[in-house]
């Protein structure tokens, strides 16, 4: 029996200057829709099909990850960019495709009244992001010379 060989197709998306920082677009490669994002010069490629119910990720808004180190305080992580699906709002990390539970999830927290000194005795009140159940498919994307190239 012959082993099956799989080949990646090298696809030129277009010149880099047609995809400046801040742009995102859908391209069709061999019948597959792919969403391409240029975030401050870093390129990302995801299948343009949301793993939830198929929404077009290429039409989603880009957001940064937000954490809440303590109640009443939040921090934006500029190193982590996510795309928010336009259909139901699931967010996917561009670099990994991992979904994260956003602010729409209902969570309950214990509530108490404490003095400031009591507060300092219990510093661990941070709210952490929770890994979601969906993972969007990512594709390798590079810049070769003056062109943006993906492997599918």
Q: Which stretch binds ligand FES (CB under 6 A): 17-25, 27-35, 84-92, 106-114?
A: 84-92
Min. distance of Cβ 71 from ligand FES in angstroms? 28
- 32 counts as binding ligand FES under rule CB under 6 A: no
Min. distance of Cβ 99 from ligand FES in angstroms? 9
- Find the binder of ligand FES among 25, 33, 52, 59 (CB under 6 A): 52
- 50 counts as binding ligand FES under rule CB under 6 A: yes
Give residue 44's Cα distance to chain centre.
Answer: 9
Min. distance of Cβ 91 from ligand FES in angstroms? 9
**By the criterion CB under 6 A, which residues form the site for ligand FES?**
50, 52-55, 85, 87-90
């Amino acid at each position: 029996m012959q082993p099956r060989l799989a080949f990646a197709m090298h696809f030129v998306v277009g010149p880099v200057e047609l995809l400046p920082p801040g742009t995102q677009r859908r391209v069709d490669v061999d019948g597959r829709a792919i969403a391409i994002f240029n975030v401050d010069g870093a390129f990302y490629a995801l299948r343009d099909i949301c793993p939830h119910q198929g929404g077009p990720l290429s039409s989603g808004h880009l957001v940064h990850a937000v954490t809440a180190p303590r109640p009443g305080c939040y921090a934006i992580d500029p190193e982590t960019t996510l795309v928010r699906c336009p259909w139901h709002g699931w967010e996917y990390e561009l670099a990994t495709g991992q979904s994260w539970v956003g602010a729409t999830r209902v969570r309950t927290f214990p509530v108490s009244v404490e003095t400031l000194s009591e507060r300092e005795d219990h510093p661990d009140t941070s709210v952490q992001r929770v890994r979601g159940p969906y993972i969007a498919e990512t594709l390798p994307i590079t810049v070769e010379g003056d062109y943006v190239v993906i492997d599918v």
